[in-house]
Amino acid sequence: MPIQLTDIWRYPVKSCRGERLSEVLVEPWGLAGDRRWMVVDSAGAPVTAREYPDLVLVTPRLDSGGIRLTAPGLPELTVPVPPATALVPVSVWNSDLVAAQACDEASEWLGKIIDEPVRLVYLDDPTRRATNPAYSRPGDRVSLADAYPLLLTSRESLAALNDWILEGPRFAEGPLPMTRFRPSVVVAGAPAWAEDGWRRVRIGEVTFRVAKGCDRCVLTTVDPDTAVKGKEPLVTLSRHRRWDGKVWFGVQLIPDAPHPGAPGEPIAVGAPVTVLE
């Protein structure tokens, strides 16, 4: 069975609900529209579903000139893209940069979910943030994702993980859906865990470098449909997929674009996936 692209997901607001797509442009810093928005605290640090699981119940949709936000118990809110003159300092883990601050209405709306003072910011210039130089090249860029432009996961690897979960002490928490892992692209047709050894792949006509494996955090224990926290998949990954002091699922991709300003190229569900190295 040839390897194929089976799913595409983007996350317009970091840590909020994802959007399933049939096709999308791949830009040098990630999928078009992916994680250009982020919720931050008063110091500009990310506010994520790791600490505030209810964020996964916020559904963002890109709109002409802005973004629409919905969440249980709150009215829909349309937030316009803020002007590039409204720049404030923000951080994403080890990256310090600036982003444009959205309107006060967005802060008030999100504050009702977080129950803390927060702000919504927009990355107006996606060339502003570099990837980790230890696993990338000069000129590689990333949006407001944790570390790299895309995350690839495999259906076969998820099936193997779910088999382990069902054989383990917390079998009642399984099987888990792929949405727990917040992938950008999902593939099928390769043996479980084959992606660990990939170094370059082509999806459709777009080539990617595999930067590194993806070490997983507590966000994977949050049910994306209910915001309820459990213990899986970290308990099972710790038994079967633990090395270098971390647990692993999926691999991080960097588009092999000629330069950071290169135009986006499309990928679509059903596209062939070729392992080049």
pLDDT tens track for 99-125: 999 999 999 999 999 999 999 999 999
Cα 72 from chain centroid (whole Å): 22
CA dihedral 55, 210, 20, 7 (to 10 degrees): -140
- Helix, strand, or coil (residue 143): coil
Residue 231: the pLDDT is: 97
100 token code pair: 């444009």
Whole-Å CA distances, 92 to 19, 119, 232, 240: 22, 14, 26, 30
Predicted confidence (pLDDT) per residue in 23-37, tens digit: 999 999 999 999 999
- 185, pLDDT greater than 80: yes
- 78, pLDDT greater than 70: yes
Q: What type of residue is 108?
A: E
Question: Which residues partner with 71 through β-bridges?
Answer: 74
Residue 61: the pLDDT is: 97
Rounded to the nearest integer, the mean pLDDT of the chain is: 95
Q: What is the mean pLDDT of residues 197-219?
A: 97
CA distance 99 to 85: 10
CA distance 154 to 156: 5
Residue pair 70/57 in contact by the 8 Å Cβ criterion: no
Name the band, by pLDDT with cuts 50, 70 and 90, for residue 163.
Answer: very high
Whether omega before 233 lies within 30 degrees of 0, making that bond cis, reads yes
CA distance 219 to 229: 9
Residue 259: the pLDDT is: 53
Q: What is the mean pLDDT of residues 165-171?
A: 96
Q: What type of residue is 75?
A: P
With pLDDT > 90 as the criterion, what percentage of the chain qualifies?
92
With pLDDT > 70 as the criterion, what percentage of the chain qualifies?
97
Name the band, by pLDDT with cuts 50, 70 and 90, for residue 86.
Answer: confident
CA distance 201 to 207: 6
Global confidence as pTM: 0.96
